[in-house]
Amino acid sequence: MRRKLVVGNWKMNGSRLANAELLAALTAAGPWSCDVAVCAPFPYLADVALSLQGGRMTWGAQDCSSHEAGAYTGEVAAAMLAEFGCRYVIVGHSERRAYHAESDQLVADKAKIALAHGLTPIVCVGETLAEREGGHTDIVVKRQMSAVIHTLGHCISQVVVAYEPVWAIGTGKTATPEQAQAVHALLRTQLHAATPKVEEMQILYGGSVKADNAASLFSQPDIDGGLIGGASLKAADFAAICRAAA
């Protein structure tokens, strides 16, 4: 049976004081019988690593460069993240795809370089509201996933996948458990053709997950936890979601 995973994506939020208080509250609320991680903005990674040292919560970054090193001002290399003891890195989040014009292939290249440095990429896929209403959900998520499968080959089994319908991120709208499960099942079927280890892979749901809907989402057979945005900034809410996963 796959172990549940709950990952907090702080996005561009936080301060040193607020982060310390949040992590202290989460540490006091745990541990939970599921895997828990937080993905913090780059300036706070060292603080987060120090705060979580020796505990059961792990941490990650919200992006990485597709390049090893060089003249790429403002970029952060996967090797740099690994040097800090980073466990996860989010790649292909819908905000990166939309605001920074990241292509499916660029996302796949980021996943590849993350794996090369011992990081676990959390590969995000998901459709917009127009794509869902147009009946294109399956086509879009399979296209996004295909680029990663083609680039990683047999190593695809080492990634975490996160299905995040763009229309449900930060909007207060949430896919129903049945809607989310249908896409998760589609993704697992697609991955099954690429790796015999598909039943070991974690596929997370993200998109306005809250304490009051987490249990119904996580009870679906192909949903293995969540990538949590706004609720991950509130200790009580995030802890409740972790309890629902556990």
* Active site amino acids: 93, 164
Nearest to 99 by CA among 40, 148, 43, 166: 166
Q: How many CA atoms lie within 13 A of 175 on its CB side?
A: 29
Tell me how far apart the alpha carbons of residues 228 and 164 are, in angstroms, rounded to a whole number. 10
Number of H helices, E strands in the chain: 10, 8
Question: Which long-range contacts link 35-38 to residues 24+ away (Cβ below 8 Å)?
Answer: 35/3, 35/4, 35/5, 35/6, 35/225, 36/5, 36/6, 36/7, 36/8, 36/242, 37/5, 37/6, 37/7, 37/8, 37/87, 37/88, 38/7, 38/8, 38/10, 38/232
Tell me how far apart the alpha carbons of residues 211 and 236 are, in angstroms, rounded to a whole number. 9
User: What are the percentages of helix, strand and coil residues in the chain, rounded to 5?
Assistant: 50, 15, 35
CA distance to 10, 26, 29, per residue, from 245 (Å): 19, 15, 14
**Strand partners for 228:** 8
